[in-house]
Amino acid sequence: MSSYIKAIIKRHKRKMARTEDIKLRQHLNADALIKDMHTGFAGIRDYRTGTVTHTLADSLMAGFAMFSLKDPSLLVFDQRRFRSPQNLMTIYAMGSIPRDSSMREILDGVDPNDLPPLFKEAFRKLQRGKILEKFVFMEGCYLLNLDGTGYFSSDFRHSDACLEKKHRKSGKVMYYLQNETATRSN
């Protein structure tokens, strides 16, 4: 056997030994947290009337999946949905996945005030499980990476919430919105 193959086998054995040392915590793993999120989404009252193709919980989970998978747009997520719907439905406990245009329409009607309690509950579990202790930095505050992104811009459509950029030479005004989120460092 060549020394190259021996080195590969040795690395694989070390990796397997480290994997065996990892203990999965019953309520603090991705599957449990995703299940809790789905249960919370199922508790939000559906504002739509009549027959619906996708439950509100499935639509909210699709939005959650898109952000947790860090897809840069609804279109990219829709392409993922088309390529591997069974994987998404299994991992994120969805019965169906709306197309990008349907998801946009469904999620736009959700009251944003219904969502913070779900994330507070997930944060509480992580805090009680001492998962967040390694993020405590100074004076008991958490250290997080922040990432900002622009998600809307137009030179004619705008709202009171829009920021404005004025072009120096032409004087043309560009209206835009930005979003800032906490990100995980690898």
- Judgement on whether residues 55 and 86 belong to the same structural domain of the protein: yes
- Give 27-58 pLDDT, tens digit per residue: 778 888 889 999 999 999 999 988 999 999 99
Give the strand pairing for 163-166 and 145-154.
unpaired
pLDDT confidence tier of residue 1, bands split at 50, 70 and 90:
low
- Judgement on whether residues 99 and 165 belong to the same structural domain of the protein: no
Residues 49, 86 contacting (CB under 8 angstroms): no
Q: Is residue 174 part of a domain?
A: yes
pLDDT of residue 7: 77
- Judgement on whether residues 133 and 160 belong to the same structural domain of the protein: no
Q: Which domain holds residue 49?
A: 26-138
> 31 versus 150: which is more confidently predicted?
31
* Separation CA 78–CA 83 (nearest Å): 9
Sign of CA dihedral 54, 91, 72, 124: positive
* Separation CA 183–CA 186 (nearest Å): 10
Token couple for 70: 């860090």
Q: Is residue 8 part of a domain?
A: no
Question: In terms of Cα–Cα distance, which of 91, 74, 68 is closest to 182?
Answer: 68
pLDDT of residue 21: 52
Residues 61, 37 contacting (CB under 8 angstroms): yes
- Contacts (Cβ under 8 Å, ≥6 apart) of 70: none
- Judgement on whether residues 154 and 130 belong to the same structural domain of the protein: no
- Judgement on whether residues 133 and 164 belong to the same structural domain of the protein: no
Q: Is residue 33 part of a domain?
A: yes
- Judgement on whether residues 121 and 34 belong to the same structural domain of the protein: yes
pLDDT of residue 161: 78
Token couple for 45: 């009252």
Main-chain phi, psi angles of 45, to 5 degrees:
-65, 130
User: Taking 70 as the threshold, does the pLDDT of residue 119 lie above it?
Assistant: yes
> 103 versus 19: which is more confidently predicted?
103
- Judgement on whether residues 105 and 173 belong to the same structural domain of the protein: no
- Judgement on whether residues 85 and 153 belong to the same structural domain of the protein: no
Q: Is residue 10 part of a domain?
A: no
- Judgement on whether residues 87 and 156 belong to the same structural domain of the protein: no
pLDDT confidence tier of residue 182, bands split at 50, 70 and 90:
low
Q: Is residue 71 part of a domain?
A: yes
Read off the pTM. Answer: 0.64
